[in-house]
Amino acid sequence: MNPDVQAAMPELEKWIGTKRVVADEMGLTSVQRAAATLDADPNAIKVGDALPRQWFNMFFPDICRQSELGPDGHAKKGVFLPPIPLPRRMGAGRRVQIMGNLVVGQPATKTAEVAAILPKSGRSGNIVILTMRLTFETAGKVIAVDEFDAIYREAVPAGQKSTSSAFKDAPTASAWQEVVHFTETMNFRYSAVTWNAHRIHYDADYTRDEEGYPHTVQNGGLTMQTVTEMACRHTPGVITGLDARLTKPINVGDTVTIHGSKTDAGALCWIADKHGHLCAEMNVSFE
């Protein structure tokens, strides 16, 4: 275990179980911006409309003052999230249950709870996995529960590249496929809608020099949202949940192929990059 992490664990463990509540008015213009980012017609949305179930996670941003931002563009450690003493943070996966819909103009809340803090060591070095449990409510009902994993990693030595596990080949047999170009503007607009200022999504010099990636990195939330939208288009029924895992970073500007196949519960989806490497997997359930 990283010695700084080992020393910090007694204090970090005190964060487990802590909660904070984020309110959102579900304002019409905010919803329209989110819709436009997903290439849906913003003018078709009116106050009182129920939103697609899978849109719940694009709202309730953690809003901090400019002076509270850290060097990576996230809020400084301890402002919203535990002060894990590793400098790099990336989304890794989600487990989601969806029971209802947000409604335009109907106030709602997100309760964010620190569910787990797990230090680990592996081939790519020392990491800490932070699991947040997000509970979304409106009109006195829970409409979604989202467990989200973020991985904290050690700094990249000067002049070196970010390390990773060996890449897996993506399956090629699927019931449907769609090619997606993750453009710079798409990535920017999604980050703006979700109030995500992480510099690896837009600052190429920072991404290369400080985090060791060859190019700006695709927003993982947008990656998972895009796969979910496609699963909903290709699968009959109402979405009830998903289980997603990001396995390989996608660069901003990359073109990928999203695949899907039918399962007993709904759909199994995955992403292949231009080299055929597996970038993400997602099981999406429907009823």
| Mean pLDDT of the region 62-83 | 94
Q: How many CB atoms lie within 10 A of CB 260?
A: 23
Q: Count how many domains the chain has.
A: 2
Task: Classify 232 in phi/psi space as left (phi over 0), alpha (psi -120 to 50) or beta.
Answer: alpha
Evaluate if pTM is beyond 0.85: yes
- If asked whether residues 86 and 178 sit together in one domain, one would say no
Is residue 22's pLDDT more than 80? yes
Structural domain including 39 reads 1-155
CATH at 139: 3.10.129.10
- If asked whether residues 176 and 127 sit together in one domain, one would say no
Confidence class of residue 166 from pLDDT cuts 50, 70 and 90?
confident
- If asked whether residues 236 and 173 sit together in one domain, one would say yes
- If asked whether residues 150 and 187 sit together in one domain, one would say no
pLDDT digits (tens, 9 = 90+) for 27-55: 999 999 999 999 999 999 999 999 999 99
Percent over 70 (pLDDT), the chain = 96
Integer CA distances (angstroms), 156 to 93, 163, 252, 273, 277, in order: 22, 8, 20, 24, 23
- If asked whether residues 125 and 250 sit together in one domain, one would say no
Rounded to 5°, angle at Cα 33 from 266 and 229: 10
Domain boundary among 155, 176, 207: 155
Q: pLDDT value at position 159?
A: 60
- If asked whether residues 20 and 135 sit together in one domain, one would say yes
Q: pLDDT value at position 250?
A: 96
Domain boundary among 135, 155, 175: 155
Report if residue 111 sits inside a domain: yes
**Average per-residue pLDDT in the chain?**
94
| Mean pLDDT of the region 200-208 | 95
Element (H, E) at 4: helix 3-13
pLDDT digits (tens, 9 = 90+) for 206-220: 999 999 999 999 999
Domain boundary among 125, 155, 185: 155
